[in-house]
Structure 1
Amino acid sequence: MLILPIRAAILYLLVVLIIRIMGKHQIGQLQPYELVITILISELAAVPMQDTDIPLINGIIPILTLLLIQVTLSFISLKSAAARLVICGGPSVLIENGKIVERELSRLRYNLTDLLEQLRLKDVPNIADVEYAILETSGKLSIIPKSQKRPVTPADLQIATPYEGLPTTLIEDGAVNKRHLAKANLNEDWLLRQVQKAGLTGFQDVFLASLDTAGQLYIQPKTKPGRAS
């Protein structure tokens, strides 16, 4: 009875490892060949996972072969623009200067209803407000509004703004992130004093502590059992 969960665990870990090697992409960002390989890998893993009569190696070898193909195609497309155009295709302009490019819609079999829906989802209901709408190789629609229709930015108003970076997490669920603490040129003694100033006993009482780029420390205590958050 243990053979099924063991086979399932081995194949699961193998597929997770392969997906990690393939890179961090959302499903909507996968190139066509990456999506095909991902689907094939899942199918190849499912067969030996369900049928114990099939040797495990018969599923592992094809999966590793697909990984090799994916890595090879990725390397080729990275080094050659011509190969990348063949493997991944190229972006297509669907709207140019506020005008729909009908020949591209026809060539891509992309209907007008879908185009208008994507524009609405991007908060651009009026085609006349669009400078360019580009269908990317991943299938996502990129929209560049006309300059008169873009939101006003501080740069447009010549307003200087302070630097805003990402907060640095110093404590997470009671555990001190020593690497982040050292990067901020701080130590645990200083951090403990700040925690105690917030009325807490020690690090174990902190759910989250983060330091923003202005030097402000945010501390959220853990919720005690039986007390509403």
Structure 2
Amino acid sequence: MDVYLGIIFRTLFLYLLIIVIFRLMGKREIGELSILDLVVFIMIGEMAVIAIENTKDPLIHSVIPMVLLMIIQITLALISLKSKKFRDLVDGQPSIIINRGKIDENAMRKQRYNFDDLMTQLREKDIRSIADVEFAILESSGSLSVIEKLKNSKEQQKQGDITVPLILDGAIEEENLKRINKTNLWLRQELKKKGYRDVKKISFCSYENGEFYIDLQDED
């Protein structure tokens, strides 16, 4: 009887502990979990199962590594907020799979992403044909973001390009500049015209249809 009571107590305690840990680590949808999140979640889940099964082992032996994993995950999350290079290293970057209706097979090969994957994710978004897609972006989470072609011919003429981030956390995105056939010098000149001389003070800058969206970093 004592064994069963111990299992019940451990289950309830670890259930509440995991809820607290996940709340402290921040809200994320399942499809948006980073590699770090996923690894931590799996390890914490495994530790909880082992702790419930091994009733003779002190509970603190499982609680300490679970809390330690939480601290590590929160620390790495804070680092990723400050460092774009760290985010790219851990999470990777989004890839444009379909660009203006044309499939980029090189991007698919780099991501080891095949046509079966593409068609499956398009069907999940109720899109029957690749011909209906203007842009498809494979996000770092593995989800596919899709922008459909406009049906009306007049609307198609007005349809512009995809929003391209050119500056993130004060760092210029050289790859995105290449995508729109622009240079670092061009970007800096355009920003100077608008009164922005220090790129490092810009938190986010995007470009779409000849228009810039610029957000400065918060002052400490």
TM-score by length of 2: 0.64
CA RMSD of aligned residues (A): 1.8
State the shift of 1:73 in Å: 1.2
For 1:137, what is the secondary structure of its paired residue?
coil
Deviation digits for residues 103-159 of structure 1 (CA, Å, limit 9, x no counterpart): 121122211012012112222222233221001111110001234469x9xxxxxxx
User: Partner of 1:179 in structure 2?
Assistant: none
Q: Which amino acid aligns with 2:19?
A: V
Contact 1:27 1:35 survives alignment (8 Å):
no
Match of 1:121 among 124, 131, 139: 124
State the shift of 1:51 in Å: 0.7
Distance of 1:149 and 1:104 partners within structure 2: 29
User: Partner of 1:143 in structure 2?
Assistant: 146
Unaligned 5+ runs, structure 1:
153-229
Match of 2:11 among 8, 13, 16: 8
**Stretches (4+) displaced over 6 A:** none
Matched, 1:99 2:93: no
Distance of 1:123 and 1:5 partners within structure 2: 45
Distance of 2:34 and 2:84 partners within structure 1: 15
Seen in structure 2, the aligned counterparts of structure 1 residues 75 and 149 have a Cα distance that, compared at 3 Å, is: farther
Q: Which has the higher helix share?
A: 2
Distance of 2:152 and 2:62 partners within structure 1: 54
Match of 2:80 among 77, 81, 91: 77
User: Partner of 2:53 in structure 1?
Assistant: 50
Match of 2:43 among 30, 40, 47: 40
Q: Percent identity?
A: 46
Matched, 1:86 2:86: no
Taking the TM superposition and a 5 Å limit, the aligned residue runs for 1:145-160 are 145-148=148-151
Distance of 2:129 and 2:14 partners within structure 1: 49
Distance of 2:53 and 2:126 partners within structure 1: 46
Match of 2:70 among 52, 67, 70: 67
Distance of 2:73 and 2:109 partners within structure 1: 31
For 1:55, what is the secondary structure of its paired residue?
coil
Matched, 1:17 2:59: no
Distance of 1:120 and 1:27 partners within structure 2: 20
Contact 1:129 1:149 survives alignment (8 Å):
no
Unaligned 5+ runs, structure 2:
156-220
Seen in structure 2, the aligned counterparts of structure 1 residues 96 and 149 have a Cα distance that, compared at 3 Å, is: farther
Seen in structure 2, the aligned counterparts of structure 1 residues 88 and 114 have a Cα distance that, compared at 3 Å, is: same
